[in-house]
Amino acid sequence: MRIEPHSLGTGQRAPIGLALGGGVARGWAHIGAMRALIEAGIKPDIIAGTSIGAIVGAAYLSGKLDVLEKWARSLTQRKMMGYMDVRWGGSGLMRGERLARVLNHYMGDVNIEDLDRKFAAVTCDLRTGYEVWLQRGPIVPAIRASYALPGAFEPVKVDGRFMIDGALVNPVPVSACRALGAHMVIAVSLNGDAFGPMGTSHELDMDDDGEEDDTDPFGIASHSLNKLRPDRLLLKSMLGGVKPGKSPKIGSVMMGTLNIVMDRISRSRLAGDPPDVFVAPRIGHIGMLEFTKADELIERGYAAMQHEIPLIRSVMDVLSQMPSAVPLADAETPPQNASTK
């Protein structure tokens, strides 16, 4: 690609990229971060999302952020269990079809190339290990591929390739934003205090559904029998809590391992390609499976982004006056659904 110096000129804004990082349940903080940007009148031109960051980014660009926020705030332990469609003998603990139905209900008719701004869902090719930026096609399979955590969800087949969670290769996709044309990148990392205080749990409270009606004997019986279903027992054995001092269960080990991997890779990637503004909500005390804590996560994401708004405006002002390297009119555009080593 050939480039030449170009001044944006007074009053022209540098293209803004927003990199939304992965972090499982902690990703609800992205909703709050988006709310702070909207309130400040700052509109990203490019969004790249990894894992749950892809979900929030896609919801925002398709006009469904309100719907996603309402759904996230409504989640209870019982509802969460309802979305866990256990697959016996498959390539993942869950098929992911129940969650996909929710996404398809609201965004099933959306194609990435039809969005009014650039979007990339970051995922990973299971066979090659290459990082892949999905930038065309139906948006739901793209975001499913981005959050397909190995062991938890089955890999998602896109263009003949099996894709897994993008957090394994690029937890906070600053590089994708820059490749898509962003002159300024705001990065929201969910690993700023990845390990939080001692005792942070990455387990599910399988016994507290929070909705049982103790006045209805039939409801109590049904609730008790439901807990004895084979799929519920399997989930409890893998994801349920343990007594203090006991060995963690496999779900907690998986989430703790992902936490470590994302923290180490994020540090390396961000050192090589730092964002212009780094936003890190203080959410390390919340476990990666605590999807029912949307209220607190959204509030903390909002507060973290709001705190950085003055810096964002300052960087925008500076960049609008600086010469920038931009592609010539006849230059090649970044490849769609591109892979990087």
Which of 45, 51, 201, 276 does the annotation list as catalytic? 51
Average pLDDT over the chain reads: 82
Per-residue pLDDT reduced to its tens digit, 166-221: 999 999 999 999 999 999 999 999 987 766 554 455 555 545 554 544 554 444 33
Q: Which residues on adjacent β-strands are paired with residue 157?
A: 162
Percent of the chain with pLDDT over 90: 57
Q: Which residues fall within 8 angstroms of residue 313, CB to CB, at 6 or more apart?
A: 40, 42
**Nearest to 290, CA basis, from 13, 1, 3, 24:** 24
Percent of the chain with pLDDT over 70: 75
Band (160; pLDDT cuts 50, 70, 90): very high
Task: Answer yes or no: is pLDDT of 109 > 90.
Answer: yes
The first and second tokens of residue 310, run together, are 């003055």
Alpha helices in 165-215 (DSSP H): 174-179
Alpha helices in the chain (DSSP H): 29-40, 52-61, 65-74, 77-82, 97-107, 139-146, 174-179, 217-226, 230-239, 250-272, 294-320
Q: Say how far apart CA 130 and CA 134 lie, in whole Å.
A: 12
Which of 45, 62, 125, 165 does the annotation list as catalytic? 165
**Nearest to 173, CA basis, from 336, 20, 16:** 20
Look up 295 and say whether it is catalytic. Answer: no
Per-residue pLDDT reduced to its tens digit, 295-313: 999 999 999 999 999 999 9
The first and second tokens of residue 37, run together, are 């940007």
Look up 51 and say whether it is catalytic. Answer: yes
